[in-house]
Chains A and B, each alone.
Chain A
């Protein structure tokens, strides 16, 4: 009975992240539009976009290979599995012990690896621009994320996300400088990884300003739908990670009965709304950086993560 319940919970988690991610993106776009005194697209527009794209034919470039066709599925699979292992409404995920935070970061890294390969596959210079800039950003964002992971793992005593979320939620730790630094670094890394302003403009189509959009320029139809869904999932994943680690209120623990699950779900939707609103506010208030200012920005995140880890190593002896 317990096993069935755990299976059901894990399945529910996988479905919920899949269903809520376009809603989050729609919400962010709506808030950005409203802040700019526009009406903005309806909240459910990303769903309509995905369905429309799925039904269309795929137009494949003549020089594209089999890898180009397989990559959207690989990216989607990697991102979905990673998102399914992040505690959203409940931390007692059945398979959380199979992949810890390092594995989740690495799964997102392999999605990015294949994304960069897709950019190079057709043999145009746009794809090359996107891939080369993406790997430059990744070469700093991933170490920063790993340093943040070190900080959190040293504080919580484990690299499993569920254990970390439970630990943070128990309120044993007060405010700590390392946690503050880690939060700041995590926000910077989340902005960079999700191709948000100030690192990349998700709404642009000018080659001088795009990174992510340049890599997926040649994709169409169901492939493009999968890639868009994967980026929406990634945004949801990062907001969920920030939520479960730094705002761990309401997450149902190991004893998951329907009232706690409902509370967890409500709390989760609230965290998504807050996160989406703040993201939209931030993106509207700040301008996009020049490409070669981004390494300094991400280098700052790496330094903050390193400083946070250093402080933890040093203060252990006190």
Chain B
């Protein structure tokens, strides 16, 4: 049934896809961090709205975790890391930004085709929300694949995880313990990645994946 509540949920899911595209568009690292913070903010808003609509109070906690960790703590921490490591602040892309965004559109189309084929019996708006969530996951993967800078790959990974959370909250009934464990695993992965970044930087004076590849003998 179309009502203003479902329209808002739909709008928030669509905004998440939009912010994913904005992430693809950035070519400066600080701007990318800010966009990621916005991504997490929109996710938190979407999860909070789902909590309100479905009457599931534990989702409020999920929204709070997304807000505190992903919108505030992680961007600030990454900011500090970038300053400390002196990482090169321009994002080198494998293909240009235009072709990357074109690939992004193709991925959204693919996600829509897959979701609309697979879930034939479900409610139309839920199907579109699932398709949006899959698009966010695929665009996060695309970011990891088409960026040479390790920090931007980390951000791609985290926006992929955001898409998974969106999908899980859209389908009603995700237990809180799963969300806590997912959040903690993300935190731990982040710490590990941070440590590795420190080590790599100490060893090679750079975190550019291309340079590291050369050391591995797999130069482009």
Contacting residues, chain B, for A300 (C-beta < 8 A): 21, 25, 101
- The answer to whether A303 touches B21 (Cβ under 8 A) is yes
Within 8 A of B (CB), among A290-316: 295-296, 299-300, 303-304, 306-307, 310-311, 314-315
Decide yes or no whether A5 CB sits under 8 A from chain B: no
In whole angstroms, how far apart are the Cα atoms of A103 and B4 in the complex?
Answer: 34
Which residue of the partner chain, among A176, A295, A307, A318, contacts B108 with CB atoms under 8 Å? A307
Contact A315 B128 (CB under 8 A): yes
- Tier of interface size on chain B: 20 to 34
Contacts A181-B18, A300-B21; A175 near B98 (Cβ below 8 A): no
Within 8 A of A (CB), among B1-51: 2-4, 7-8, 10-11, 13-15, 17-18, 21, 25
Tell me if B56 is interfacial: C-beta within 8 Å of chain A: no
Minimum distance in angstroms from B163 CB to a CB of chain A: 16
Chain B residues with CB under 8 A of A315: 124, 128
Q: Report the minimum CB–CB distance from A163 to chain B (whole Å).
A: 22
Query: Contacts A310-B108, A314-B116: A177 and B10 contacting too (C-beta < 8 A)?
Result: yes
Which chain B residues border A296 with CB–CB below 8 Å?
25, 97-98, 101
- Contact, CB under 8 Å: A175 / B11: yes
For residue B1, give the distance in angstroms from its CB to the closest CB of chain A: 12
Given A303-B21, A303-B104, A303-B105: A174 in contact with B124 (beta carbons within 8 A): no
Which residues of B152-209 have CB atoms within 8 Å of chain A's CB atoms? none
Which residues of B112-137 are within 8 A (CB) of A? 112, 116, 124, 127-128
Contact B112 A181 (CB under 8 A): no
The answer to whether residues A176 and B105 also contact, given A184-B18, A296-B97 and a CB cut-off of 8 A, is no
Assess whether A310 is in contact with B105, with CB atoms less than 8 Å apart: yes
Is there contact, CB below 8 Å, between B11 and A299? no
When the two chains form the complex, which single residue of A180, A306, A310 contacts B11, counting CB atoms closer than 8 Å? A180
Which residues of A have CB within 8 Å of B18? 180-181, 184, 304
A-B contact pairs, 9 of them (CB 8 A): A175-B8, A175-B11, A177-B11, A180-B18, A296-B25, A303-B21, A303-B104, A317-B116, A318-B124
Binding site for B on A (CB under 8 A): 174-177, 180-181, 184, 295-296, 299-300, 303-304, 306-307, 310-311, 314-315, 317-318
